Amino acid sequence: MTTATAAITMIPISMSSREIAELTGKDHRNVTRDIEKMLTDIGEGVLKFEQTYTNSQNGQSYREFLLPKDLTITLVAGYRSDLRLKIVRRWIELEAVPPQPSLSDRQRKAISILRVAEDEAAAFIRKRVNDAVLVMQGHEDLVAVPTPSGKVTPKQMREAVGLFRSLQYVNKLSGMDKNNALLSANRQVKETTGIDLLKNSGATHLLANETDHALTPTAIGKRLGDYGAQRINGALAHLGYQEKKSVGKTDAWVPTAKGEPHSVMEDTGKKHGNGTPIRQLKWKASIVPILEKEMKQDLETV
């Protein structure tokens, strides 16, 4: 046995009074009474084997006993044969499982701190996402927007990044392309935390340049020969790339399944009367040759 192996403390196998009660069909109070009497009779301290557990249903704490094998067998020696057999078989199962290394008090404390930090981080993200949704719905008055004073701390930055990733995912699900999902998420983070992540990273200009490739119907019309936006919209609808749907109190063009690969839903930064964000349908450059090839003649008659 190496020194490193010898230094590892293994958790001793034990059986709880609750498990004994379950296996034997006895009331737990009666089992604990039997254990106390047994420990007193053999001269063992009761507190040595006693501990508390929390009931998951009412949240209250109760006491139980953890017994090693010899004391468990001693306890059930006076029980019926069928009940003793259940206990023996259970001990065979317990001994067949390799013992697990125990944790030091310091390790347990570290794990407890990490779990608390995880819960706090999750709660923060949930609150910030809820705040961002309220802002998107026009309920800014219900949100307390913090404004970082001085230098942003590493903790504030981590929290903002976590919120940013969550909102970016939601934006993509709503139909935004990658760049607009990033820009919208950054604006929402700034509104709820006061931190402009893209400005801090210097990526604003790059993202803006990339989104410049999205074309309006007017820009498409100019590329195809000075056609107006109305004619281009009609051609896109005729080809099955877009359709009109009610959005809030107005009708707006939205891409069809056929048009989605060539479309971009941009967040304009404005809102409808009900607080939902206004998004504008634009098109990737890939739609231009499609219109030119397939509907050049139809454009004249739309």
- Across the range 21-36, mean pLDDT stands at 93
- pLDDT for 147-201, tens place per residue? 555 677 777 787 788 778 877 777 776 666 677 777 777 877 877 777 887 776 6
- What percentage of the chain carries pLDDT values higher than 70? 66
Classify the C-alpha dihedral 40-46-49-51 as positive or negative. Answer: positive
Q: How far is the C-alpha of 223 from the C-alpha of 113, rounded, in Å? A: 61
Of 265, 261, 267, 266, which Cα lies nearest the Cα of 287? 261
Residue 54, SS3? strand
Report the mean per-residue pLDDT for the chain: 76
Classify the C-alpha dihedral 297-298-299-302 as positive or negative. Answer: positive
Q: What angle do CA 117, 200, 165 make, to 5 degrees?
A: 45
Q: What pLDDT band is residue 34 in, cutting at 50, 70 and 90?
A: very high
Backbone angles phi, psi at 277, to 5 degrees: -65, 145
Per-domain residue ranges of the chain: 7-96, 118-211, 217-299
Q: Which long-range contacts (CB under 8 A, 24 or more apart) does 255-258 make?
A: 255/175, 255/281
Beta strands in 59-151 (DSSP E): 61-67
Copy the structure tokens of residue 54.
């929390």
DSSP symbols for 187-204: HHHHHHHS--HHHHHT-H
Please give the residue that has the higher pLDDT: either 110 or 253.
253
- Across the range 82-92, mean pLDDT stands at 91
- Across the range 253-270, mean pLDDT stands at 82
Q: 121 pLDDT exceeds 70?
A: no
Copy the structure tokens of residue 31.
């089992």
Q: How far is the C-alpha of 254 from the C-alpha of 246, rounded, in Å? A: 10
- Across the range 56-74, mean pLDDT stands at 87
Please give the residue that has the higher pLDDT: either 70 or 248.
70
Q: How far is the C-alpha of 140 from the C-alpha of 271, rounded, in Å? A: 12
Residue 26, SS3? coil
